[in-house]
Amino acid sequence: DMKRRPLVLANWKMNMTPSQVLPYLDQVIPEVEKDTGADVAIAAQDLYLAQMVKATTNTRLAIAAENAHWTDEGAYTGETSPKALAEIGVSYVLIGHFERRKLFNETDERVNLKTKAALKNGLKVIVDLDEDMSTYDTVNPNNVVLAQLRAALAGISAEELDQVAIAYEPTWAIGSGEAASATAAQKAAVLIRQSLKNLYSAGVAEKIRILYGGSVTTKNAAAFLSQNDIDGVLVGKAALDPKQFLELIDIAQ
Ligand code: PEP
């Protein structure tokens, strides 16, 4: 069994005020530099990204966007170009987060187009798959998550997939304080990995990182991270507190 390097991704969402950004980074960077056993990234609103990239230059802390458009430029008022994100030094982009799917008409087709555009620009992508209660904790091969997975990755090569991680997030667990069980999350991760094996190859499926997201805390993170097929966590609320974020990184080592 190949050991995948864990990824701890904070998702600030539309939180944090401008004056909180640098103090947060100042607090976490020295510890992130010491904890070399996991990859660490923070996704933040676009407004903060250039400043965050600058503050983390030559550190192990990577910066992520929470969304990006599917074209490099054009008449798309209010949108953010993946080309511009790459050019300012953003490393990752989160595509297809549940809140974007639910509140901003993010369809499977757009998730696919956005993923392709981000990869083409050299950004690493975390593709977010969201499962509702109807198939939770089953091994249903018609699982909505697997349909989202196939749609998101349509036309993406095995080589490109090297730059992709998958986040499995039950919709009802996001921001609710009620996490999935670690065994149910592991079951979903196995289904996702099996599906990647069918779509690509065993080698590709073994290499790709699958994250769990949904009310991860310093109390439950170890249970998720100790599962064979869970290679990281996507953390919203708990990561707004730099101390808890550092503890989560420590747990992921
Ligand atoms: C998320 O933003 O994807 C998330 C999982 O949030 P929370 O940790 O607050 O549930």
Residue 223 forms part of a structural domain = yes
Tell me, using a 6 A CB cutoff, whether residue 174 lines ligand 1. Answer: yes
251 lines ligand 1 (CB under 6 A): no
Nearest one of 223, 209, 220, 176 to 8, comparing CA atoms: 209
Query: Is 12 known as a binding-site position?
Result: yes
Domain ranges, residue 221: 7-252
- Measured CA distances, 109 to 114, 163, 211, 229, 253 (Å): 9, 19, 22, 27, 35
Give the tens place of pLDDT for each residue, 190-220: 999 999 999 999 999 999 999 999 999 999 9
Ligand 1 center to 75 CA (angstroms): 32
CA nearest ligand 1 atom 4, residue: 236
| Separation of CA 169 and ligand 1 centre (Å) | 8
Is 214 among the annotated ligand-binding positions? no
Residue 242's CATH number: 3.20.20.70
Q: Does residue 150 form part of some domain?
A: yes
Give phi and psi for 192, each to the nearest 5.
Answer: -65, -45
* Cβ-proximal residues to 234 (8 Å cutoff; 6+ apart), any chain: 9, 11, 94, 126, 128, 167, 169, 211, 212, 213, 216
Within-domain flag for 2: no
**Taking residues 225-244, what's their average pLDDT?**
98
Predicted confidence (pLDDT) at residue 60 exceeds the cutoff of 90 = yes
Q: What is the pLDDT of residues 94-140, one digit of tens each?
A: 999 999 999 999 999 999 999 999 999 999 999 999 988 888 888 77
Instruction: Spot the catalytic one: 97, 99, 106, 131.
Output: 97
Asked if the structure places residue 31 within a domain, the reply is yes
- pLDDT of the residue at 250: 96
pTM: 0.97
Give the position, in ligand 1's atom list, of the atom nearest the Cα of 237. Answer: 9
Contact by Cβ (8 Å): 136, 170: yes
- The domain total for the chain is 1
Q: Are strands 61-65 and 39-44 parallel, antiparallel or unpaired?
A: parallel
Q: Assess if residue 1 is contained within a domain.
A: no
Check pocket membership of 249 for ligand 1, CB cut-off 6 A: no
Residues of the chain with pLDDT > 90: what percent?
92
Any catalytic annotation for residue 169?
yes
